[in-house]
Each structure stands twice: as C-alpha cells, then as structure tokens.
Amino acid sequence: MSLGLKIMLIVLVVLIIALIALYLFGKRAEKKQAAQKEQMEAAAQQVTMLIIDKGKMKLKEAGFPSVVVENTPKYLRRTKVPVVKAKVGPKVMTLMCDAQVFPLIPIKKEVKATVSGIYITAVRGVRGSLETPQKKKGFFARFKKDKK
C-alpha cells in the first residue's frame, strides 16, 4: 500500500467520524431546543405595551439585570441582541426580542405582545395590523432593471 493511499484512508476515516459526531450533536441540540421552546410557550403571557425604543446592542449595554448577564454563556455576552424598551403598565422595561419578530415591532406605538419572562416571542397590533417593513434589495438586485 502506498503512502498516499494510507493518508487518504486516514483522512476519510477522520471525516466520517467527524460527520457522525456532528450528526449526534445536532440531534441532541434539536431535542434541547424543543424542550426549551415548550417551556417558553408554557410561561407565555399576552401583554399590552407601548414601544419606546428598539435597537441591537450588547447584553451589558442593554441594561438587563445582572442575573441575566451572568446566566448567558461567555461566548454570547459580546454578541448584539435585539432589545426593546417598552412601557408595560406603569413600568418601563427592557425586553429581549426574537430575531424574526424584531423588524415587525413599530416604534412609538401600542402593541399586544406575547412575552415569556423578558423575551418577546410574538407581536400583534392593538389597533389594526402592523405594517411590515419593506425588504432591502440585495447588492446586485439594485443594478437589475425592472422588467415592467
């Protein structure tokens, strides 16, 4: 057996082992995510709130309680998260938002939101429907001419 063939077999075996490990890790993470989603849905509440401000910022800059910052993994502490400042009843609260829901939230308007702890999972307009923002065109789509 030549040296090149031995190296190819070793690389192939290592790649197969890596793929199997990634598959098993993915299945475990999928089960964990499903369990967390069930817990969030169980703790969800409908809340009417007035949105004051929204933006993406780091956890430390957002003004969350220290317990929230301590419980997040270290590798996620520096990432920017969607944050919404809203008036819920007489209190002004800082809430974290789902990435898919964040663009739908209007500023300076009243909305009904599904909140689980400090996490906003869904949003509906109190008076009428929410205006969906227009999608930004991609870099190359800007140069294409309309066929109209």
Please indicate, yes or no, whether residues 29 and 50 belong to a single structural domain of this protein: no
Count of structural domains within the chain: 2
Question: For residue 47, how many C-alpha atoms fall within 13 Å in the half-sphere facing its CB?
Answer: 23
Quick one: pLDDT at residue 147? 55
Same domain, 37 and 4: yes
Question: Where does the pLDDT of residue 20 fall: very low under 50, low under 70, confident under 90, or very high at 90 and above?
Answer: very high
pLDDT at 12: 97
Which residues touch 60 (CB under 8 Å, ≥6 apart)? 69, 77
Residues 119, 135 contacting (CB under 8 angstroms): no
pLDDT for 16 equals 97
In a domain, 59, yes or no: yes
Q: What is the CATH number of the domain that holds 108?
A: 2.40.50
Does residue 4 sit in the same domain as residue 66?
no
pLDDT digits (tens, 9 = 90+) for 24-80: 999 999 999 999 889 888 888 999 999 999 999 988 888 888 888 888 888 888 889
Can you give the pTM of this predicted structure? 0.68
What pLDDT shows up at residue 18?
97
